[in-house]
Amino acid sequence: MRHLIRTAVVTAALVVTTVLSAGPALAAPSDQDATWLRAAHQGNLAEIAAGNAAQQSATTADVRNLGAMFVQMHTDLDNQLKPVAQQLGVALPGGPTAQQQQQLAAVQGQRGQQFDTAWIAQQIAAHSTTLSATQKEVQAGSDQRVLQLARAATPVVQQHLSELRNAAQKYGGPRSVPAGTGGQAADDSFRTAGWGVAGVGALMLVAAVAMSARRRATRR
């Protein structure tokens, strides 16, 4: 009899432990939370790649330093994001989006001061898109772990935008994103098409900045 009671107690304890340990995994993340986790991860990867490119190709110390800062801070953000995505069962993409890769390739096609100006312009567009999406997550997200990530990322992205706008004022290029490149258009397309609209706008912005830089160089 005592053996049966002991067995029942042990079994009940195992069941309770299993239920408690599995509890957090039972709640599936909302579409908003899952979408933001994937896009934020790809944004971090894109910023790390862009930061490395700046350190390799920029002609000014300011842009190289911005690149180094982006690599460090977006790596930190991504290291915080990945375990939360794993806990929630959200599979993360293996690299930046095709549009983000095209944006970086367009910038890397520039040389000298034109690279610096195009890089700053593209990064303003990219960080504006990131900020818009992150603010949406803060407003519409539901999982507290994901919301905490978004709240922590917001001041980082805002700091980067501030630094980029100061660099744009110093070295030339737009200090804000024209309509349709990274603000409302990015927010409207975020859920259904990722960052495609913003990506096309950023490419157009980079091309315009590069053309302007060439004209200035020709006049000289």
102-152 pLDDT, tens digit per residue, is 999 999 999 999 999 999 999 999 999 999 999 999 999 999 999 999 999
Cα separation, 9 vs 22, in Å, equals 20
pTM beyond cutoff 0.75: no
Could you give the CA distance from residue 7 to residue 13 in angstroms, rounded to a whole number?
Answer: 10
Does the structure show a pLDDT above 90 at 173?
no
What b/e string do you get for 30-55 counting C-beta neighbours within 10 Å, with b at 16 or more? eebbbbbbbbbbbbbbbbbbbbebbb
Crossing angle of helices 31-57 and 61-88, rounded to 10°:
150
